[in-house]
Amino acid sequence: MTTVTPSFMPRVGVLALVRHGQNVLLVRRANAPDAGLWGFPGGRVEAGETLFQAAERELREETGLTAQALQTVDVFDSLHHTPDGTLAFHYVIVAVLCEENTPHPTELHAADDALEARWLSYDEVRTLGPKACARLFELTQKIIPAPEKR
């Protein structure tokens, strides 16, 4: 039988994907593994918490926004290694679509492990380049159709 060090066991994390028209709610992360990068609010699922409860809580903690989790959008592995190739992080990430129940976007307040929280347009997300977390644009495309060409 193989013994696995608990710190290297995969952990479950959630991302809260919130859209408002052609805009998505993003945070600039304060902590590893994506410190300084823009991504969807999210974090670890706590013991006894459902995926949807975790997405709603992380969203509230990082942005001050209250929204209802509606459906799973994607599930993927997030593996991070040290420069020598040692596994540093392994998360199984569940991306959850959440809906704000107000006609206008709520004023945001970055908190917890978010340095900033902002509504960004589809085009702004597309141009983030190296300032974006992995899969950010791909997930944005899953919840917002590409704007029509003018």
Domain boundaries, the chain: 6-143
Residue 54 has pLDDT above 60, yes or no: yes
pTM: 0.89
Cα four-point dihedral sign 99, 148, 118, 55? positive
Q: What is the pLDDT of residues 100-115, one digit of tens each?
A: 877 666 789 899 889 9
pLDDT attached to residue 6:
47
Question: What's the Cα-to-Cα distance from 100 to each of 60, 96, 120, 147, rounded to whole Å?
Answer: 11, 13, 15, 21
User: Which of 86 and 33 is assigned the larger pLDDT?
Assistant: 86
In three-state secondary structure terms, 137 is: helix
User: Which of 2 and 134 is assigned the larger pLDDT?
Assistant: 134
The Cα 17–Cα 11 span in angstroms is 19
6-143: CATH architecture: Alpha-Beta Complex (3.90)
Residue 49 has pLDDT above 90, yes or no: yes
